[in-house]
Amino acid sequence: MTAPTGAAISIAGCGKTYPDGTRALSPVDLEVKAGETLVLLGPSGCGKTTLLRLIAGLETPDAGGRIAFDGADVTALPIEKRNVGMVFQSYALFPNMSVIDNVAYGLRVRGVATAARRAQAASVLTMMRIEALAERRIDQLSGGQRQRVALARALAVRPRVLLLDEPLTALDAALREHLRSEIDALLRRLAITAVYVTHDQAEALALGDRIVVMKNGAIAQVGTPREVYFRPADDYVAGFVGITNRLEGIVRNGRFETAAGILPVAAPDRAKAHLLFRPEAVRLVSPAEATLVFQVAQVEFQGPRQRVTLNAGDGARIIAEAPADLDLAAGAAIGLALDANRYTLA
C-alpha cells in the first residue's frame, strides 16, 4: 500500500446551531496543514466533536461557514463524497460482515471487483498486524482488535483526511497507551492529514503536531504540544492540560511584581496580572541568585525527583519539581528561576 497523500483542510467561519437553538460551535477559523496531525482537545460539550463532524460532512455548518480540502470547497458535499476516513468512538463496525468484508466495504461501494478488494483489504490488515482476524465476526473481537479493524477500514479507501473521534476512550488504560503509540507511528508513516478528537490531555500531547484546545464551542488556544503545555493561553487551558502554578501580581516597568519577588518580563504595564507555569518548568537555585524567593513548605521524595511545595509570601502555594539530589529542608528559603519560554503571563 502506497502512502495516501493528505489534503490540507481550511475551515472558515464554521459554526453550528442545532434546530432547537443550542449553539454547539461558535464560528471558528482553522487551517490544518497537509499531512499534519491536529488534535481537538476539550471536555465533553466543548464543540470538538461537532467541529470534527463538520469536517467529515456529517453536519453542515451554519450559513456563512466554508470548508475546503486542498482549496476545493466541500461545504455542500455529504460525507460519502468527501473521501475521508473516519474512526468512531463506538467503532461502528458492521456486525453483518466479517472483518475483511468490513475493511473491504469502502472499496466495494467504489465498485472494486471482489478479488481485488479482498487483496487490498488483506494488505491493510497485514499493515495493522491483524491479518489473522480476517474471517472473524465482529462480535468475536476484543475492544483493541475492533479499534484496529476500524482504523484499517478507514485507511483502506486511502482517504485524503483521517478523522478520529475519541478512538481510544472505550479501552482500558494500558491498552490505550499501547494503541496510542501505535496510532502515532502509523499517522507519521502514512503522512496522512489527521484530525483527532479527545478529552485526554496525555493523548493530545503525545499525538498532536498541533493541539486545538476548545472551550464552550470556541477555540481557546491553538499551538504545538509544547506551546500549549508550557505557555497556555489562559487559566482554562492551563487547568485542562495538567498541574499549573499561578502567581498573582502586577506588571510595572517591564517587571512582574509578586509577593515572592520580581521577574523581568517583556510586557506592558498591567494593574492585575498572573503568571502561569508548570512544576517541571522551574529550576530551584540558591536564594542569592534568584529574583523570586520562596519558603519550602513540604518536600516529597519520589525517587527520580522530588516534589516541593513552596510558600509565596501572600499565602499562595506552588509546586515545583526538583532533582533528587538537591538538598532541601522544610522552612528553608529557596530561589526560583524561570526561563522566558516556559511561562505564560496573563
Residues in contact with other proteins by the rule CB under 8 A: 56, 58, 78-81, 83-86, 88, 90-96, 105-106, 108-110, 139, 153-154, 157, 163
User: What's the closest the beta carbon of residue 106 comes to other proteins, in angstroms?
Assistant: 4
User: What's the closest the beta carbon of residue 80 comes to other proteins, in angstroms?
Assistant: 5
Nearer Cβ to other proteins, position 118 or 153? 153
Nearer Cβ to other proteins, position 84 or 228? 84
What is the phi/psi pair of residue 72, to 5°?
A: -90, 130
Q: Which residues contact 201 (CB under 8 A, 6 or more apart)?
A: 41, 240, 241, 242
Look up cell 446551531; give the residue.
17
| Strand 270-277 to 343-345 pairing | antiparallel
Nearer Cβ to other proteins, position 90 or 286? 90
User: What's the closest the beta carbon of residue 92 comes to other proteins, in angstroms?
Assistant: 3
Burial class (CB in 10 A: 0-12, 13-18, 19+), 264: exposed
Nearer Cβ to other proteins, position 128 or 282? 128
Nearer Cβ to other proteins, position 108 or 305? 108
User: What's the closest the beta carbon of residue 230 comes to other proteins, in angstroms?
Assistant: 36
End-to-end CA distance of the chain: 48
User: What's the closest the beta carbon of residue 133 comes to other proteins, in angstroms?
Assistant: 18
Nearer Cβ to other proteins, position 20 or 325? 20
Q: Which three cell numbers stand for residue 48?
A: 470538538
Nearer Cβ to other proteins, position 84 or 296? 84
* Residue type, position 54, single letter: L
Task: Give yes or no for a contact between 85 and 161, defined as CB atoms under 8 angstroms apart.
Answer: yes
User: What's the closest the beta carbon of residue 87 comes to other proteins, in angstroms?
Assistant: 9
Q: How far is CA 59 from CA 15, 75, 77, 174, in A?
A: 11, 10, 10, 33
User: What's the closest the beta carbon of residue 318 comes to other proteins, in angstroms?
Assistant: 45
Q: Which three cell numbers stand for residue 97?
A: 460482515
Q: Which element (helix H / strand E) includes 155?
A: helix 143-156
Q: Is residue 248 left, alpha or beta, with left meaning phi > 0 and alpha meaning psi from -120 to 50?
A: beta
* Residues forming beta bridges with residue 164, ordered by sequence position: 87, 196
